[in-house]
Copies of this chain bind each other. A is one copy, B any other.
Amino acid sequence: MDIAGIAQTRYTTKAFDPSRTIPASLMAQLRTVLRLSPSSVNSQPWHFVVAASSGAKERIAKAMQGPYAYNEPKVLNASHVVVLCGKAALDDAHLEAIVAQENRDGRFLAPENMATQDKSRRFYVNLHRDEWKDERTWIDRQVYLALGTLLLAAGAVGVDACTMEGFDGDALDAELGLSRRSLRPLVVVALGYRAADDFNAGLPKSRLPEDVVLTEL
């Protein structure tokens, strides 16, 4: 599979065709890619809110007003919109849910491995929370890792995407009740198909040359 070719041809879609919907089978694949994303110590410190209906997209678009109004049409015209949220913290309930799931999934061949795995994960969680004091930004990095897998996966299945950091997080929280669920909205991705007049579709991708961004030791 020519994954470099997919990385070359995927791009940030600035205008979506409102008449086109991503087939359910493809959205199921992209949801699965998000859910299966790797994360540090399998912490899965995220939640994904998906809007498919017009009404749901209008709710998200309430966060694309005022200085963020340039993003409103992308949300309204896309087929699906995903809000990638980070958890406020990796609390006990979450850590217990993870290790219980790992147990159900059969990752512990010896019973004592379950406690070892739980202890190891908590060591890193405590390290980030108590010593390095970067639990939140550590969480946020994992959410962006999931974002990276989503964007490449979308390109691989021929779905166009637009990633937006420009939105009113407080408005989105008020509309979706995220902080009540201990979630913080970090980034929004519109998914769908480019409009015929999307100016960005015709422009070449631009990146710094390899000798600038990469050193071979």
For the complex, give the distance between the alpha carbons of A137 and B215 in Å.
Answer: 23
Residue of B nearest to A183 (CB): B215
A205 touches B36 (CB 8 A): yes
B214 touches A42 (CB 8 A): no
B216 touches A97 (CB 8 A): no
Q: Given A7-B149, A153-B7, do A59 and B217 touch, yes or no (CB 8 Å)?
A: yes
Q: Given A44-B207, A148-B149, A210-B35, do A156 and B1 touch, yes or no (CB 8 Å)?
A: yes
In the complex, whether A88 has a CB less than 8 A from a CB of chain B is no
**Residue among A8, A10, A104, A213 facing the most chain B CB atoms (10 A cut-off):** A213
In the complex, whether A196 has a CB less than 8 A from a CB of chain B is no
Further contacts, 13 of them, CB under 8 A, given A137-B140, A145-B147? A3-B29, A3-B153, A7-B32, A7-B153, A35-B207, A47-B215, A48-B214, A49-B217, A50-B216, A97-B212, A124-B165, A140-B141, A148-B149
Task: Enumerate chain A interface residues (CB-CB to B < 8 A).
Answer: 1-4, 7-8, 10, 12, 28-38, 40, 42, 44, 46-53, 56, 59-60, 97-98, 101-102, 104-107, 109, 124, 137, 140-153, 156-157, 163, 165, 176, 186, 203-210, 212-217
